[in-house]
Amino acid sequence: MKVLVGVKRVIDYNVKVRVKSDNTDVDLSNTKMAINPFCEIAVEEAIRLKEAGVATEVIAVSVGTTASQEQLRTALALGADRAILVESEDGAEPLNVAKAFAKIMEQEQASLVILGKQSIDSDNNQVGQMLAALTKRPQGTFASKVAVDGDSVSVTREIDGGLRTVKLALPAIVTTDLRLNEPRFAKLPDIMKAKRKPLETKTFADLGVEVKQHIQLDKVEAPATRQGGVKVGSVDELIQKLKDEAKVI
Amino acid sequence: MATLLIAEHNGTELAPATLSALTAAQQIGSEITILVAGANAKAAADAAAQCSGVSKVLLAEGDSLAHELAENLSELIVSLAGDYSHIMAPSNSVSKDTMPRVSALLDVGQLSDITAVLSDAQFQRPIYAGNAIATVTSKDAKKVITVRAAAFDKAAATGGSASIESVAAPAENTAATWVGDELSKSERPELTAADRIVSGGRGVGSAENFALIEALADKLGAAVGASRAAVDSGFVANDLQVGQTGKIVAPSLYMAFGISGAIQHLAGMKDSKVIVAVNKDEEAPIFQVADYGLVGDLFDVLPELTEKL
Ligand SMILES: Cc1cc2nc3c(=O)[nH]c(=O)nc-3n(C[C@H](O)[C@H](O)[C@H](O)COP(=O)(O)OP(=O)(O)OC[C@H]3O[C@@H](n4cnc5c(N)ncnc54)[C@H](O)[C@@H]3O)c2cc1C
């Protein structure tokens, strides 16, 4: 069984983003970049499936600029067998990304695609579901547990009221939530070895995907900043402030 | 122009988030139809028909809609989509699951989690955990939108008298089947609907210690929330996580105990009206957004506060 995993290059989650002074976008120059944390969880899950003898091959796929090779190499160091970069401008739209994945899923005859539920830059939470729709396959989003059993997969999902388990016929698409697993760190020898693993570069055109603009970015602004308030010295003072000043209790 | 708004409901009542999304729909300014889908949702459809500014309610009932499976729900929405320029839903775990599927089936982009309506095509939405606000324009003829409920006031649930029309439920998708739910049971208010929230973080230390948070919450009639660290450590269930990748809340009062204030947590609560933070580290970033900060040990503060309130 082949498993595809998505890998997106994003700002490191510890870094607070700045908005450009001309408000055209955020400023990512000289910013530390990393694998999107949810994609890291996806890579980990795929590697565990391989270690368990369920997956035969793990293919890491990224849609992004040439710089995304760095994140694909990390995925290879973590244990993916090979990688595909679909070269694109920064900020590819989710539907275009999903279309690229659909083509690769078909070409590779992948049985399972594991993607992060959202990327921490655009916060869209769309690609996995779109891919499932495009390929007419079932989806298990926001997964906290994934168990492959023959030609189906059981996915326990984090939903608003708690947990929900669904059974999906393979091929299927799974998107990861935070508690699916704890990703490992790449070891130095594996980072060296990853340099020799295959990394193929394609374009949208190679895949036969016509890139369309659906959503235009007009402007990016910093949010209204909240003024820090006061420090209170005691519980009594806190209660008094909440009653008399804020009037919320 | 016409809007189809997908209701969040429990079969009998509309969720407050539906009313917030209705406000966003009203700001777009076209005629509004509400879709109520479920195994048994007549009462919720009746409630939807009472909402102000709603012209029609579509009620879809059937077994295929019992567990909100995106495969079935998206088929239903796409089958109705022809009549509408805007397809909207409050942002929740069902719409997050379903709406991108609808978008892809319609070959359009999706606007996730909008926080402002600027015109019928231009919207604002937070990106980078709310550290930037994007103004975006949809170029598609049909606009698929999820609405961040916390950013919109609730529309009036009364005053309307829309007609209710039944529509056929979709066929069951055989590739996806529901196995079971493990839902959290609680007498407390639901997190995203609550007017007051008491949240605990890693500093609370254990599941047992969360009783202190719960005691204060009960005293205040508040919901209980948590940071990711508290959920990951198994102190509380996943559905209590507040933040960028959990629930987005904006109550009148948000009280954070033993939460450091990581950007991902702030993303979910910084629009609360009044924020109280209790942390033993006076440098904790949570104090930068707190209206009232108390530097101290939560194990002293919580019992005292609960007793004195
Ligand atoms: C992809 C991604 C998504 C994420 N999404 C979310 C999200 O949605 N929501 C979220 O919350 N986090 C999220 N996080 C995690 C986030 O980065 C932080 O790790 C997390 O919020 C920290 O939780 P905490 O504040 O409880 O723990 P810590 O940061 O460990 O803080 C504990 C605090 O408790 C204080 N404390 C300890 N003991 C006491 C005491 N006795 N009395 C008073 N104070 C005490 C300490 O001083 C400290 O400030 C996400 C992270 C990633 C990478």
Are B117 and B47 contained in the same domain? yes
Tell whether B228 is covered by a domain: yes
- The sheet carrying B163-167 orders its strands as B110-114, B143-147, B86-90, B2-6, B31-38, B56-61, B163-167
Are B100 and B156 contained in the same domain? yes
pLDDT at A225 over 90: no
Alpha carbon dihedral A107, A110, A112, A113, in 10-degree steps, equals: -30
| B94, B112, B132 member nearest A125 (Cβ) | B112
Domain span at residue A171 reads 2-245
CA distance A95 to A129: 10
A67 touching chain B per CB within 8 A: no
* Number of folded domains that form chain B: 2
Can you tell me the mean pLDDT for A74-97?
A: 97
Q: What is the CATH number of the domain that holds A131?
A: 3.40.50.620
Are B202 and B102 contained in the same domain? no
CA distance B92 to A160: 7
B198 dihedral zone (left: phi>0; alpha: psi -120 to 50; beta): beta
Give B10's pLDDT tier (boundaries 50, 70, 90): very high
Are B303 and B202 contained in the same domain? yes
Tell whether B172 is covered by a domain: no
Are B212 and B142 contained in the same domain? no
Can you tell me the mean pLDDT for A223-227?
A: 88
Q: What is the CATH number of the domain that holds B250?
A: 3.40.50.1220
Residue B262 CA to ligand 1 centre (angstroms): 6
Are B124 and B31 contained in the same domain? yes
Which residue is it, tokens 């002293």? B300
Tell whether B180 is covered by a domain: no
**Mean pLDDT of all residues belonging to chain A:** 97
Cβ distance of A166 and B177 shorter than 8 Å: yes
Tell whether B160 is covered by a domain: yes
Note the pLDDT of residue A103. 98
Q: What is the CATH number of the domain that holds B81?
A: 3.40.50.620
Are B96 and B38 contained in the same domain? yes
Amino acid identity, residue B42? K
* Number of folded domains that form chain A: 1
A32 touching chain B per CB within 8 A: no
CA distance B80 to B58: 10
Are B115 and B246 contained in the same domain? no
Amino acid identity, residue A217? L
pLDDT at A38 over 90: yes
Residue B119 CA to ligand 1 centre (angstroms): 38
Query: A-B interface: how many C-beta pairs under 8 angstroms?
Result: 253
ipTM of the complex: 0.97
Cβ distance of A163 and B94 shorter than 8 Å: no
Cβ distance of A232 and B294 shorter than 8 Å: yes
Are B34 and B155 contained in the same domain? yes
Domain span at residue B32 reads 2-167
CA distance B110 to B107: 10
Give A227's pLDDT tier (boundaries 50, 70, 90): confident
CA distance A215 to A219: 12
